[in-house]
Chain A
Amino acid sequence: MLTKAIALFKKDFHSELRTRYAINSLAMFIIVAISVIMFAIGQERISEGLTGGLFWVVIFFTAMSGLSRAFVSEEERGTSLTLQLVAAPSTVFTGKLIFNIILVFCMNTIIALLYAALFESFVINNFGLFLLSFVFGNIGLAISSTIIAAIIAKAGAKGTLYPVLSFPILLPLILSSVQLTLFAIDGTSIETAKFELAIVVSYDVIMLTVSYLLFDFIWKD
């Protein structure tokens, strides 16, 4: 099953390299979003708490602009029926999930680097905690946006519907991740932040289970 899923991921990866649609639009979106924030701030120096929140604002909207491609492109090209013939639903979901996880990690690393370079107050004091929350937050973001992308694709690729459906599902994750980023900026120890970390990890596990259970119903027409 895993070899098939990886083959599926490779297919997506190669078609992405050929068109570079998601990469280009995501990169441009990150630049646009950050420059809007920079223009809004102007010469003022903003507090640490605000940068932590703005960091997740950019991550959320970037994810919403690019991650629905995974399933929407299949519906647009009319290849989803072929995919249903060659692979089991769980395999398809695994392949798409791997692709989205890698995309989220690339995108968020770029956002984090840009933030560190452009915002004076975005200084991480507890790097270990930031890395932990970053990894688990990204995985959760990828899982939820992949399953919602599958729903959106079947609903007729309504672009505006994607953030509307994703936001309530992602809200617990975003709230705890904002809190964890603030802790990392303040330099709080991992011991103090373990409650929030536990929430993010359990969110990942629960969403992964629910997604695998329900994906069959979405995928089969």
Chain B
Amino acid sequence: MVWKIFLFILLAFVSIAGIAFPIVENPQAWYQFPNIPGLEQNARIIFFHVPTAWLTVLAFFMSTVFSFKYLKRKDLDDDLKAYASAQLGMTFCILATVTGAVWAKFAWGSFWSWDPRQTSIFALLLIYGALFALRSSIEGEEKRATLSAVYSIIAFVTVPFFIFVMPRIMKGLHPGSAEDSSAGPVVNFQMNSSMLLIFFLSLIAFTILYFWIWRISYKSLIIKENINKQLIRG
């Protein structure tokens, strides 16, 4: 119970701080953010967009880890854990794509411009979509678990390629890209210490939130499976 209150306070603080703290030219007080040229007020998205994108990758990673565990131990609970994580990952993937696209409209002038990061998150969306399409097409429980575990491992292996392939093919607009010199808050550390503090607090809060929802979600899936089995037995 205590940590739920702690998470609530942390998320509330991060949200208020991220939205309301003023951006000034020369930050003096601890609650002031520096003005990053080229981004200005748009820079605030880092507190909410980057954690969702991070969770997309984390959820995919956890899903692959539990897929691997399933293949090793053949325990159907592991498959449900992987499935719950993939569901959450899909949610955060959509959130990251939409928030990123809305931000891009104001920062770059168009919702979608096939920036390397945009293409990568699009590929992740496709992988998640394919995984759910595969799951829904198979009837048998164990067969579904095995095939989707195999597919998510194969998909996970191809992900690192996007990191190397994309920047060579497309020009990067995203803050932190290789060619980006003016507006790279993450890479060049143009953020001051208070901005960094809020950013990392936000990352921690979102990560706790993910593990919490994930736990509830796979527990409910397992309970649902058990009830189904009892109903079938009569």
Contacts and interface: CB of A to CB of B under 8 A. Distances in A.
Given A154-B147, A175-B169, A199-B165, A164 B130 contact: yes
A179 B161 CA distance: 14
Nearest to B159: A172
A165 B130 contact: yes
A158 B139 CA distance: 13
Contacts of B155: 168-169
User: Chain B contact residues: over half helix, strand or loop, or mixed?
Assistant: helix
Contacts of A210: 153-154, 157
A169 B171 CA distance: 23
Contacts of A196: 168
Nearest to B139: A156
A151 B126 contact: no
B164 interface: yes
A214 B153 contact: yes
A5 B45 CA distance: 55
Contact of A147 (B127, B154, B161): B154
Interface in B108-131: 123, 126-127, 129-130
Interface in B148-186: 149-151, 153-155, 157-158, 161-162, 164-166, 168-169
Contacts of A214: 71, 150, 153-154
A119 interface: no
A148 B150 CA distance: 10
A171 B134 CA distance: 18
A131 interface: no
Contact of B154 (A158, A169, A199): A169
A65 interface: no
B143 interface: yes
A175 B167 CA distance: 11
B230 interface: no
A206 interface: yes
A221 B166 CA distance: 38
B137 A168 contact: no
Contact of A199 (B71, B129, B161): B161
A176 interface: yes
Contacts of A211: 154
A151 B150 contact: yes
Interface in A162-221: 164-165, 167-169, 171-172, 175-176, 179, 195-196, 199, 203, 206-207, 210-211, 214, 217-218, 221
Contact of A175 (B71, B143, B165): B165
Contacts of B166: 175
Contacts of A148: 154
Contacts of A171: 123, 126, 158, 162
A179 B168 contact: yes
Given A168-B123, A168-B127, A171-B123, A155 B134 contact: yes
Nearest to B150: A214
Interface string B48-89: 000000000000000000000001000000000000000000
A7 interface: no
A206 B134 contact: no
Interface string B29-47: 0000000000000000000
A71 to B, nearest CB: 12
Nearest to B124: A168
A17 interface: no
Given A168-B126, A171-B123, A151 B147 contact: yes
A107 B147 CA distance: 29
B118 to A, nearest CB: 14
A164 B168 contact: no
Contacts of B138: 155-156
A214 B154 CA distance: 9
Given A154-B143, A199-B161, A203-B161, A165 B133 contact: yes
A36 interface: no
A54 interface: no
Top 3 nearest A-B pairs (CB, nearest first) are A172-B161, A168-B126, A168-B127
6 contacts: A155-B143, A175-B165, A179-B168, A199-B165, A218-B150, A221-B143
Given A155-B147, A171-B126, A217-B71, 4 more contacts: A164-B133, A168-B123, A169-B155, A199-B165
